[in-house]
Chains A and B, each alone.
Chain A
């Protein structure tokens, strides 16, 4: 079955530690996205990538980093510079950058900073 996988589902981190969230897709999609979701709020875009080896900052990129070395993979690193990292993180992909494209979401990773 094609789809997007995120791991782990739950992640706990101590303050001051970096942590990397995994996102893999086998849909052969060109574009991938990372969103942050806080309780009672909509989704905020962290980073996105339209093509391999290229990515752009979204609305809240500070304290995060990404890489896009392979078409299938778009890992997100939450660094110690992110002041309030506890949140639900969603990865998504779409066939391309056209505005008619549907985004396909993974199941999410819930990150808690202890």
Chain B
């Protein structure tokens, strides 16, 4: 079945460091790919998405490119801030299913 794998956390970075959170997927058909972010004590909110191969999603300085050849959707940001501290979830939504499959989440802490 469809699945999402994320790098394990927690990840701790200093402010202004470069961020990469790896995400790979297994899916039949042509899934849409998402990154959601969850701040402490809150629900999830969409960070960015890509709906077809080679699409690049971007928002708030974060980027991810849909790579079909490597089945990956890695999240990157050039310079993280303390306010980026949160849990990040990679997710996919396949045409084969009526649901979204979430990865386990990666906790990010940014220290001043």
A residues near B (Cβ < 8 Å) are: 4, 6, 33, 40-43, 45, 48, 50, 56, 58, 90, 92, 97, 99-108
Could you tell me which B residues sit within 8 Å of A by CB distance? Answer: 31-32, 34, 36, 41-46, 49, 51, 89, 93-95, 97-100, 102-105
Residues of A within 8 A of B51 (CB): 100
* Contact between chains at A108 and B42 (CB < 8 Å): yes
A103-B46, A106-B43, A107-B43 are contacts. A50–B103 as well, Cβ < 8 Å? no
Q: How far is the CA of A100 from the CA of B50 in the complex (A)?
A: 8
Describe B's contact surface by its main secondary structure: loop
C-alpha spacing A17/B96, complex, angstroms: 37
B32 pairs with A42, CB closer than 8 A = no
CB distance from A23 to the nearest CB of B (A): 11
With known contacts A42-B89, A42-B105, A103–B100 Cβ distance under 8 A: yes
